Amino acid sequence: MECCKTAVLRPVADFIKKNTVMVVALGAAVITSFIVRPDAQYLTYFDLRTLTCLFCVLAIVGALRDIDFFYMLARRIVKCFRSTRLCILALVYITFIGSMLIANDMALLTFLPLGYFVLTAAHREKYMAFTFVMQNIAANLGGMLTPFGNPQNLYLYSKFDIPTGEFVRIMAPPFAVAVLLITVCCMFVKSDPVAVPDEPVRLDAKRTGVYLAAFALAIAIVFRGVPYWIGLVVIPAVLLVYDRKALKTVDYPLLLTFVFFFIFAGNMSRIPAVSRLFSGLLSRNTLVFSVISCQFISNVPSSILLSQFTSNYPALLVGVNIGGTGTLIASLASLITFREYCRHNPTRKLYYLGVFSAFNFGFLAVLTVFMLIKNAG
């Protein structure tokens, strides 16, 4: 009997551990549903365009990853560099740029294994924690420049109907500071010679062409150039023919997290006492309050919740992006990096957390102070 219980409970426990934020979001949605009983207004909670854009981008990026497209591209770039410092800079910049194109979590899933491969092949394992932390910060902060770079960007871009040019102007200053900080940190790595062994990767030309066309469609949908329902029809159809695995590996818990937090945020906005409290706090300093909120409930939930109580989207947008640094739960992507590092170095979890906290809180402090000074001026 005990064995049967263990066999049943262990997968459940593993699922909850892996999808903690989704489970918390579900609990929050259920609890608030007892306060605000389900009615017709619930249907207005959901942003179908955001959910569709996120699904399309995740699906087609998964297909490109399955054919090693990003891995091959990254290897070619890394091979151009012949020192430890330049290799680490290349890995971090690849992740940084990748997050702008394929979202932060996908960038980490794609390029963290490459970082591990490069460092172990070059016998530079001592830089593993530093490199992973820098890649993590690069993924969280690099994605802030584009509407599809982070999940919260997609939501706020759609929620407030932000013009693309204005979006880039809002995020350009913290983005530029982030690039400078990351570069300075990586420059402290020793510049000793290193060689990365050859490992040829061949791409299927037909599938690559089809996936890149589908990716262009997904980006056009994000930028409102194509109705979102077209992507919801075309992209799954393409993947059903060429790569059904990509549809299976979409991060559905992330999509459900959005759904549950839509319910939670919608219900919270209909509770008068909560509405007055959050509106008051955000009116004092939207940037600071959104940064603090991210440290406790992560940046995606914070963007959905706080957007119900403020129209100051520039400060909210910056806050939930730079707020992705800081604690381990400030961004869902940080948990991906932590799991990947622990998979290779299970006995050095505390060391990694120390390095992670030092750099993340440092970045958070500098970026927050910079934006406060900029806004005050």
Share of the chain above pLDDT 90, in %: 32
The answer to whether the beta carbons of residues 264 and 305 sit under 8 Å apart is yes
Taking CB atoms within 8 Å and a gap of at least 24, the contacts of 78-84 are: 78/114, 78/118, 78/196, 79/196, 82/193, 82/194, 82/195, 83/191, 83/192, 83/193, 83/194, 84/122, 84/124, 84/127, 84/189, 84/190, 84/191, 84/192, 84/194
- Of 120, 285, 255, nearest to 197 (Cα)? 120
Which residue ranges make up each domain of the chain? 21-376
Q: pLDDT tens digits, residue range 50-78?
A: 788 778 888 888 888 888 887 777 677 66
Mean predicted confidence (pLDDT) in 24-31: 88
Q: How many other β-carbons are positioned within 10 Å of the β-carbon of residue 13? A: 11
Distance CA 304, CA 286 (A): 14
| pLDDT band, very low/low/confident/very high, at 199 (cuts 50, 70, 90) | low
**Three-point CA angle 364, 367, 373, nearest 5°:** 135
Q: Looking at the predicted structure, is the pLDDT value of residue 313 above 70?
A: yes
pLDDT at position 236? 93
- Taking the alpha carbons at both ends of the chain, their separation in whole angstroms is 68
3-state secondary structure the chain: CHHHHHHHHHHHHHHHHHCHHHHHHHHHHHHHHHHCCCCHHHHHCCCHHHHHHHHHHHHHHHHHHHCCHHHHHHHHHHCCCCEHHHHHHHHHHHHHHHHHHHCHHHHHHHHHHHHHHHHHHCCCHHHHHHHHHHHHHHHHHHHHHCCCCCHHHHHHHHHCCCCHHHHHHHHHHHHHHHHHHHHHHHCCCCCCECCCCCCCCCCCHHHHHHHHHHHHHHHHHHCCCCCHHHHHHHHHHHHHHHCHHHHHCCCHHHHHHHHHHHHHHHHHHCCHHHHHHHHHHHHHCHHHHHHHHHHHHCHHHHHHHHCCCCCCHHHHHHHHHHCCCCCCCCCHHHHHHHHHHHHHCCCCHHHHHHHHHHHHHHHHHHHHHHHHHHHHC
Beta-carbon-side half-sphere exposure of residue 364 (alpha carbons within 13 Å): 23
Whole-number pLDDT of residue 45: 80
> What mean pLDDT is reported for the chain?
85
The dihedrals phi and psi of 328, each to the nearest 5 degrees, come to: -65, -25
* Range 294-301 average pLDDT: 83
Q: What is the mean pLDDT of residues 162-185?
A: 95
Give residue 170's pLDDT band: very low, low, confident or very high (50, 70, 90): very high
For residue 19, pLDDT beyond 60: yes
- From 227-231, 254-258, 302-306, the region with the lowest mean pLDDT: 254-258
210-244 per-position pLDDT tens digit: 999 998 898 788 777 888 889 889 999 999 999 99
pLDDT on residue 34: 92
The residue-averaged pLDDT of 155-182 equals 94
The lowest-confidence range among 3-7, 83-87, 125-129, 171-175 is 3-7
Residue 68's CB is within 10 A of a number of other CB atoms, namely: 17
Claim: this prediction has a pTM higher than 0.85: no
Longest distance between any two alpha carbons in the chain, whole Å: 68
The pLDDT of residue 30: 93
Predicted local confidence at residue 377, as pLDDT: 66
Q: pLDDT confidence of 267, banded at 50, 70, 90?
A: confident
Please report the pLDDT score of residue 205 as a whole number: 87
Please say whether the beta carbons of 59 and 233 come within 8 A.
no
